């Protein structure tokens, strides 16, 4: 990989917002160190801070913002010899399911230029599908932002348990939901990368103190059989071709799995609960982007504060960001917080408990990742905001719960990838990796 090739690739697919023009020199220096990641190239979602590289979170309001520090996950990658090649395109602040809300241009699906990559980590999924196997994408999920584009672009996307990887240096969307994860085309590479970036971080209070397992060693000792639960709510109303692919995949590994159908009735509440919680948190997290401390500002600062803030935020926030700020502020306002937000938080607890009970009888919950294959850009343009939100229907519940999940490319429909979604109990990432390796060994992963 060289700079010229990466720039040419980006002209066609728009998967990067910023390319690190020094990555070739950094790679030469790294190769001589013999560190675990010294021959690996990493792209980084643009809402994860990288020292010396523009970090915009896909928003005009942060254009030209260059952090002076690395996020903890990035610092650990660099210390292990990893090379940062650039910052990948995303929906503004993670607000979207198709990566079409990026202020710097939407990335294009590597399987069909007329189709979307999925969101919000679409640039990372696109880059992973296109680049060599020694490329890894560091990405982020709030409500399915790793699983969705991994499914649409046909790569592996791992979302760890909330708290498994430090969020320090992540530009927040919803603090109780955001999780840094990994995309790649190799299970072993994901396992080693997770090994390096996971673990307690004194700079981030929600990072877990639980010890990090040796994931590579865990891959060598898989269970003889996986107990699988297939929830009926995750296949109802879904494209029948996709459901058939998921069930056929499980049939092909019937010697290694026991499948039981279950019901997760709280799933039907997950979508509204997610958007209430996420928008409420987003409205407060984005309050700091006011034209004084970060990003874009106005040359005229002789106005009153409220008039100045209004001017900057109206000019540089995109339409979806404005929508979520307004709705989130309304949800948290006096007289409505109890009616909407607090009620949603109670239902979120019920969803968490439902997953906990399900994992008492199984190792993994399996479902389709997405209810449809990657749509065309013109199809997405016709969707209402509510229809956009409904695209997340299969991914928001596990994200609300904070459990780990992985999307695996198992088949194609008309040349477009279909993802299988595996979910595990809290901090059981090794079970996901072991299951993914089983599909890899059985040659059931289709890139």
Tell me: cis bond preceding 120? Omega within 30 of 0 counts.
Answer: yes
User: Where does residue 115 rank: exposed (0-12), middle (13-18), buried (19+ CB within 10 A)?
Assistant: buried
Residues belonging to the active site: 45, 120, 145
Element (H, E) at 354: helix 343-358
DSSP-derived 3-state class of residue 352: helix
Measure the CA–CA gap between 108 and 103, rounded to whole angstroms.
14
Rounded Cα–Cα distance for residues 283 and 325 (Å): 4
Task: Go through 281-305 and write b for each residue having 16 or more CB atoms within 10 A of its CB, e for each that does not.
Answer: bbbebbeebbbeeebbeeeeeeeee
The residue among 322, 327, 351 whose CA lies nearest residue 275 is: 327
In the block, residue with structure tokens 């979604």: 421
Calpha distance 364→434 (Å, rounded): 11
Q: At what angle do helices 187-197 and 429-441 cross, to 10 degrees?
A: 160
Q: Which secondary structure element, helix H or strand E, spans residue 257, and what is its range?
A: strand 257-262
């Amino acid at each position: 990989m060289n700079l010229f090739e990466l720039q040419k690739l980006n002209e066609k697919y728009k998967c990067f917002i910023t390319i690190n023009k020094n990555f070739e020199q950094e790679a030469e220096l790294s190769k001589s160190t013999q560190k675990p990641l010294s021959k690996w190239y990493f792209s980084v979602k643009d809402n994860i801070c990288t020292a010396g590289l523009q970090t915009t979170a896909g928003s005009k309001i942060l254009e030209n913002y260059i952090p002076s520090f690395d996020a903890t996950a990035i610092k650990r990658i660099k210390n292990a010899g990893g090379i940062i090649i650039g910052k990948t395109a995303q929906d503004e602040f993670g607000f979207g399911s198709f990566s079409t809300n990026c202020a710097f241009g939407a990335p294009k699906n590597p399987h069909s230029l007329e189709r979307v990559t999925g969101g919000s980590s679409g640039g990372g999924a696109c880059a992973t599908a296109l680049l060599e196997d020694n490329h890894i994408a560091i990405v982020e999920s709030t409500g399915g932002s790793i699983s969705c584009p991994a499914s649409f672009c046909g790569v592996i996307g791992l979302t760890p348990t909330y708290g498994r990887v430090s969020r320090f240096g992540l530009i927040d969307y919803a603090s109780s939901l955001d999780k840094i994860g990994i995309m790649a085309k190799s299970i072993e590479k994901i396992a080693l990368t997770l090994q390096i970036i996971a673990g307690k971080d004194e700079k981030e209070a929600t990072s877990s103190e639980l010890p990090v397992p040796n994931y590579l060693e865990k891959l060598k000792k898989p269970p003889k059989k996986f107990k699988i639960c297939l929830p009926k709510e995750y296949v109802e109303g879904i494209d029948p071709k996709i459901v058939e692919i998921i069930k056929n995949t499980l049939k092909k590994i019937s010697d290694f799995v026991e499948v039981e159908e279950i019901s997760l009735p709280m799933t039907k509440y997950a979508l509204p609960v997610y958007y209430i919680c996420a928008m409420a948190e987003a409205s407060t997290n984005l309050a700091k982007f006011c034209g004084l401390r970060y990003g874009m500002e106005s040359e005229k600062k002789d106005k009153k504060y409220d008039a100045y803030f209004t001017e900057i935020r109206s000019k540089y926030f995109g339409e979806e960001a404005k929508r979520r700020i307004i709705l989130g502020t309304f949800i948290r306002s006096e007289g409505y917080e109890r009616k909407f937000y607090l009620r949603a938080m109670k239902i979120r607890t019920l969803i968490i408990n439902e997953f906990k009970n399900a994992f008492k009888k199984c190792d993994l919950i399996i479902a389709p990742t997405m209810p449809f294959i990657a749509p065309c850009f013109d199809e997405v343009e016709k969707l209402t905001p509510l229809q956009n939100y409904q695209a997340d229907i299969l991914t928001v519940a596990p994200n609300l719960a904070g459990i780990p999940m992985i999307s695996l490319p198992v088949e194609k429909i008309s040349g477009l990838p279909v993802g299988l979604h595996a979910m595990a109990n809290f901090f059981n990432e090794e079970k996901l990796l072991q299951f993914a390796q089983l599909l890899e060994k059985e040659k059931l992963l289709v890139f």
